Structure 1
Amino acid sequence: MTLKIMTVKQLAEKVLNKEHLFILDVRNESDFQDWKVEGENFEYLNIPYFELLDGIDEIADKVPRDQDVLVICAKGGSSEFVGEELIDAGFDHIYTLEDGMKAWSELLKKVKVYEDDHMKVFQFIRVGKGCLSYMIVSDQEALLVDPARFVNDYVKVAEEEGAKITHIVDSHLHADHISGGNMLAEMTGAKYYLMKSEGAVFNFEALEDHEKIGFKQVQLEVLAVKTPGHTPGSVSFLVNDKLLFSGDTIFISGLGRPDLGNKVREWANDLYNSVHNKVAEIADDVIVIPGHFADLDAEINSDGYIGDTLGNIRKRNEKMFTTPKEEFISSVEKSASSVKPPNFEEIVAINRGVEKVDSDKMQELEIGPNRCAVHHGV
């Protein structure tokens, strides 16, 4: 019997296929409680690694012998040690997650959202982090929406599609992960668009100056023109009247949290105006594809991507679209969370271009869940 390796891609397939898996997580309890691999049919046992240094006797009767067991730690080393201990104790079907939660945080899974004669749209699901990014391909050109820092992944997909990345847009200044927008623009020469009000210090095209961005057979409308709320510079993008890239303004089952700038009432008012005045004008059959998901099992649809028609979202979250203004703002204030995205101030500084860090530091800063949605249905 030998210890087997499971890659994050293999683990993601188990999550998406809703397979059964027993997970032995050997990180500290606080880390496990804060963020773990989520699977609808997963079982969990959390025992910190340091409690198993003298052997696995205390968990021998808690770990199943007749099914696959995946041992997980932060970076892979501790789980290998525990996995080998289990093998030595006569357990079979023992796997360790290659590179641990670090690698789980960085996996991007590509799925196709939409295709017609004018464009093809891909969603990149960052399964372990809850972040979503997009590529629109039209006539050998590609536009990216909210790209993560894994720039080579997008370049590779564009090359596979026979396209060149020519346009990049960020819906807002992200607080839970590091944007790849500026890095990709420098790498590819693409035009990079961001709201000037977000305070970035590098070169970019200000979205305030663009009601529409056109390329090939695509018209990307910078919605109405702005949809603030999550941050003061949040925007949504309506593409060919077919798809609404809603950023962190509207999710499949809720709204973006407007409390990260310590101006919750002011920004909740902006969010109300965005939802009730701007989004209200959009047709029910438009497909909403957001910047994050909260619950993969609940939000992924039968086509394998996270998205739904605006009409279905309106029905599911009717109160969100019908609550009177003062009640809406009061409800958002009450639901505002004191728990901020991990390291969000430093991440924001990096995304503004005010601070520069290496890839190891970026990786360290991003470990943990996204916390960009704070309420569902108001």
Structure 2
Amino acid sequence: MAVYEMTAEKLNEMIVNKEEFFLFDVRNESDFNDWKIEGEKISYLNVPYFELIDGVEPVLDKIPTDKKVVVVCAKEGSSKMVAEMLSEHGRDVFYLKGGMKAWSEYLYPVIVYEDENMKVYQFIRVGKGCLSYMIVSGNEALIVDPSRFIDVYKDTAKKEGVTITHIVDSHLHADHISGGYELAKQTNAKYYLMKSEGAVFEFEPLENHDRIEFEKVSLEVLAIKTPGHTPGSVSFFVNNKLLFSGDTIFVSGLGRPDLGGKAREWAKDLYDTVYNKVAKIADDVIVLPAHYANFDEEVNERGYIGNLLGNIRAMNEVMQGKNEEEFVEYVAQSASTETPPNFEDIIAINRGVKEATPEQKQELEIGPNRCAVHHTH
């Protein structure tokens, strides 16, 4: 029997297509419980590889013979070893190429919206729960919340035959490293960020712009007015049709305002955002957030993560009928969960006050997204 390599792309395809398969994760139990590959049709077994060094016989009866089996570890080596041991027992087995590190870095594009004025791509970083966007109009493109894997945006722009002219970050990200500054350097695009976020490199302060216009797109900056979980969090309202909500509104909840240690104070700003600013936006506007918590629950039938504002309001009791005191109490309670790992280092890199090698960036980003916590199930 044989051992086969499986790429993150192929694994993601199986999850999106709701294919049944068996995932044998050979990382430590704590790592598995903290962060794993998720999908509606996946069955799991987690046994640390060091328990299998003398052989896989103890787990053979737990591994099905009628399903595709994928072995996963942190970087690939251990899963390949375990897969080879299983194949010696007559099993066809796959191992994930590059391990969870590769899974953390994989992102793929989905077209979320198209009309005569613009075409919008969402880039889903599935192992991390991060979302970024490209708005194409005429010969230009604007990027929203780019990840550090900037080639994917350059490749998509090339395929569309457009030039990237504007790049915006909705806030200073705490769980992943932004590609905004690097992408701007490589494309000569204008890079916009809130001055209040404290970045030390050269950028265009969003405070100076009520809107950004190019080709047939008018992007309204709901700036300083929409804190999510940082004080300079903003949302972008495009052509009165799409709300790029950053970490202010998610498909299944609201952003956590506690990462600066001012949960109650910032929750009041979030209340003002939800009940005064966003309340004026129509129900049929599509909300496109910067993160998601659960792919299976939040991906829609068209394959992207987003929903109509009216649907989000209806599902989200905290967005309706609460006074400021009730809202602040609810948010403060919800916000007491674990913070994103390494978030202080990541923010320092995104601010430009700290340098990091690609390897260090990879290490810092490993793990789940913990920016979306206010769920309403």
Which TM-score applies when normalising by structure 2?
0.98
Q: Give the equivalent residue in structure 2 for 1:102.
A: 101
Q: Give the equivalent residue in structure 1 for 2:8.
A: 8
Q: Which amino acid aligns with 1:361?
A: Q
Aligned-pair CA distance for 1:377:
4.0
Distance of 2:65 and 2:178 partners within structure 1:
43
3-state secondary structure, aligned to 1:71: strand
The answer to whether 1:18 aligns with 2:18 is: yes
Distance of 1:147 and 1:177 partners within structure 2:
10
Aligned-pair CA distance for 1:225:
5.6
Aligned-pair CA distance for 1:185:
0.6
Distance of 1:356 and 1:350 partners within structure 2:
6
Alignment of 1:320-339 (within 5 A): 320-339=319-338
Distance of 1:245 and 1:5 partners within structure 2:
37
Distance of 2:361 and 2:139 partners within structure 1:
32
After superposition, the C-alpha distances for 1:77-98 in whole angstroms (9 at most, x for unaligned) are 1100000000011222x10001
Aligned-pair CA distance for 1:374:
1.7
Alpha carbon RMSD of aligned pairs, Å? 1.1
Q: Give the equivalent residue in structure 1 for 2:29.
A: 29
After superposition, the C-alpha distances for 1:1-20 in whole angstroms (9 at most, x for unaligned) are 21011111111111111111
The answer to whether 1:177 aligns with 2:179 is: no
Q: Give the equivalent residue in structure 1 for 2:295.
A: 296
Distance of 1:263 and 1:278 partners within structure 2:
21
Distance of 1:321 and 1:362 partners within structure 2:
39
Aligned-pair CA distance for 1:224:
5.9
Q: How many residues align?
A: 377
Q: Give the equivalent residue in structure 2 for 1:249.
A: 248
3-state secondary structure, aligned to 2:113: strand
The answer to whether 1:196 aligns with 2:192 is: no
Q: Give the equivalent residue in structure 2 for 1:265.
A: 264
After superposition, the C-alpha distances for 1:174-225 in whole angstroms (9 at most, x for unaligned) are 0000000001011111000000000000000000110000011100000166
Distance of 1:60 and 1:244 partners within structure 2:
50
Aligned-pair CA distance for 1:41:
1.2
3-state secondary structure, aligned to 2:254: strand
Aligned-pair CA distance for 1:228:
1.0
Q: Which amino acid aligns with 1:356?
A: E
**Which runs of 5 or more residues in structure 1 are unaligned?**
none
Q: Give the equivalent residue in structure 2 for 1:62.
A: 62
After superposition, the C-alpha distances for 1:36-62 in whole angstroms (9 at most, x for unaligned) are 000111111000011111110110111
Q: Which amino acid aligns with 2:86?
A: L
Distance of 2:292 and 2:332 partners within structure 1:
22
Distance of 2:225 and 2:237 partners within structure 1:
11
Distance of 1:299 and 1:197 partners within structure 2:
31
On the 8 A contact 2:130/2:369 being kept in 1, the answer is yes
On the 8 A contact 1:287/1:310 being kept in 2, the answer is yes
Shift >3 Å, 4+ stretches: none
**Which runs of 5 or more residues in structure 2 are unaligned?**
none
After superposition, the C-alpha distances for 1:205-255 in whole angstroms (9 at most, x for unaligned) are 000110000011100000166301311000000000010000000000100
Q: Which amino acid aligns with 2:133?
A: Y
Q: Give the equivalent residue in structure 2 for 1:347.
A: 346
Distance of 1:28 and 1:120 partners within structure 2:
43
3-state secondary structure, aligned to 1:186: helix
On the 8 A contact 1:320/1:377 being kept in 2, the answer is no
Q: Which amino acid aligns with 1:34?
A: D
Q: Which amino acid aligns with 1:90?
A: G
